[in-house]
């Protein structure tokens, strides 16, 4: 210990080491972000339907997301997973216009839609959002809730025809068409919420925690519904799913979010099978 120096005084070599460490950390982070973007580009193709670049967003003075990049092609399903409080739902909120975006860009089909509000995101950009919390009208019937999907998109004339198409595709909902939404089970409510989004004819569907608190058989029915929409309607789906194993098994692309940043990107199988990417591993 150098007794000539007062407490807390650092020598020049120590300061240089600190600066070098900061530069090394920044360079490592930048290289990680580049690798993530390259992996997204490889999985989503060179002309993605959804493109998110450098998204920083949050609520008021609190920034939750710190430079998020995403890519998703038409007809693909992206599963976003990670620990609680990592910013997964905020990412969906930011894409849909429910969070405050401080910087970055959201594009749909090459169009910048970053600053559009939720109504314009739905009507003009074709983004529909199935929230974590129920958004059904409990006293309206199943059929009336589906009609509202068409009305929200501003296509009143198409709403009833689209509703009948949903009933043809999903007989379980057709059997409950005249029942008020309040008598449905949790799984039936989730199916109805996704079906109402279909009536809106979106290009991109955002779904927050589709299987939370559901029986495994019901959860499988939800994922089967999303898979059907991908294959038959060429719908692109961005799904937040805390049950990483269940969500990644269904995904074309998966990503792990930690502390408001993308920690890992890959196919669903890669994230589940590679110990270096597995979301169940603690962050280093």
Query: CA-CA distance, 29 to 39, in Å (whole number)?
Result: 15
What is the DSSP code (8-state) at residue 231? H
Report long-range pairs for 164-167 (Cβ below 8 Å, ≥24 apart): 166/195, 166/198, 166/199
Task: Tell me the pLDDT tens digit for each residue of 29-67.
Answer: 788 889 999 999 999 998 999 999 999 999 999 999 999
Tokens of 127: 């983004």
Q: 23 vs 98, which has greater pLDDT?
A: 98
By three-state DSSP, how is residue 284 classified?
coil
| Beta-carbon count within 10 A of 258 CB | 17
pLDDT mean across residues, the chain: 87
Tokens of 268: 């669903």
Query: CA-CA distance, 233 to 62, in Å (whole number)?
Result: 38
Q: Would you tell me the crossing angle of helices 142-152 and 186-199 to the nearest 10 degrees?
A: 30
Under 8 Å CB-to-CB from 202, ≥6 apart: which residues? 122, 126, 127, 128, 235
Nearest to 68 by CA among 260, 244, 259, 283: 260
pLDDT bracket for residue 110 (50, 70, 90): very high
Query: CA-CA distance, 74 to 112, in Å (whole number)?
Result: 17
Task: Scan for tokens 């961005």, then name that residue.
Answer: 238
2 has pLDDT over 50: no
Query: CA-CA distance, 159 to 164, in Å (whole number)?
Result: 9
3-state secondary structure 17-51: HHHHHHHHHHHHHHHHHHHHHHHHHHHHCCCCCEE
* Model pLDDT, residue 27: 78
Domains of the chain, with CATH numbers? Answer: 46-126+202-284 (3.40.50.300), 129-201 (no CATH)
Q: Would you tell me the crossing angle of helices 216-233 and 186-199 to the nearest 10 degrees?
A: 10
Q: How many residues does the chain have?
A: 284
Per DSSP, which regions of the chain are E strands? 50-59, 62-72, 77-81, 100-108, 111-112, 127-130, 204-208, 236-240, 253-258, 261-266
* Model pLDDT, residue 277: 55
Q: Contact at 8 Å (CB) between 55 and 101?
A: yes
* Model pLDDT, residue 31: 86
Task: Tell me the pLDDT tens digit for each residue of 136-175.
Answer: 999 999 999 999 877 776 666 678 888 999 999 999 999 9
Query: CA-CA distance, 248 to 85, in Å (whole number)?
Result: 19
Percent pLDDT > 70 in the chain is 86
* Model pLDDT, residue 11: 66
């Amino acid at each position: 210990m150098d007794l000539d120096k007062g407490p807390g005084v650092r020598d020049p070599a120590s300061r240089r080491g600190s600066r070098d460490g900061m530069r090394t950390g920044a360079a490592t982070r930048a290289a990680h972000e580049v690798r993530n973007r390259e992996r997204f580009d490889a999985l989503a193709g060179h002309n993605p339907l959804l493109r998110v670049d450098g998204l920083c967003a949050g609520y008021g003075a609190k920034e939750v997301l710190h430079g998020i990049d995403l890519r998703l092609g038409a007809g693909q399903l992206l599963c976003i997973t990670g620990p609680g409080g990592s910013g997964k739902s905020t990412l969906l909120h930011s894409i849909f216009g429910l969070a405050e975006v401080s910087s970055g860009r959201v594009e749909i089909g090459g169009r910048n839609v970053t600053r559009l509000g939720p109504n314009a995101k739905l009507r003009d950009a074709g983004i529909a959002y199935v929230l974590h919390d129920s958004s059904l009208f409990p006293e309206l019937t199943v059929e009336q809730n589906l009609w509202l999907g068409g009305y929200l998109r501003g296509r009143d004339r198409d709403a009833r025809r689209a509703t009948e198409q949903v009933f043809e595709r999903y007989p379980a909902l057709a059997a409950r068409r005249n029942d008020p939404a309040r008598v449905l089970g949790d799984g039936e409510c989730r199916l109805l919420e996704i079906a109402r989004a279909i009536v809106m004819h979106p290009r991109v569907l955002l779904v927050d925690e589709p299987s939370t608190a559901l029986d495994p058989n019901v959860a499988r029915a939800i994922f089967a519904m999303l898979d059907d929409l991908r294959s038959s309607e060429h719908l692109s789906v961005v799904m937040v799913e805390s049950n990483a194993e269940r969500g990644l098994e269904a995904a074309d692309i998966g990503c792990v979010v930690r502390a408001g940043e993308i920690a890992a990107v890959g196919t669903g199988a890669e994230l589940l099978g590679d110990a270096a990417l597995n979301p169940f591993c603690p962050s280093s």
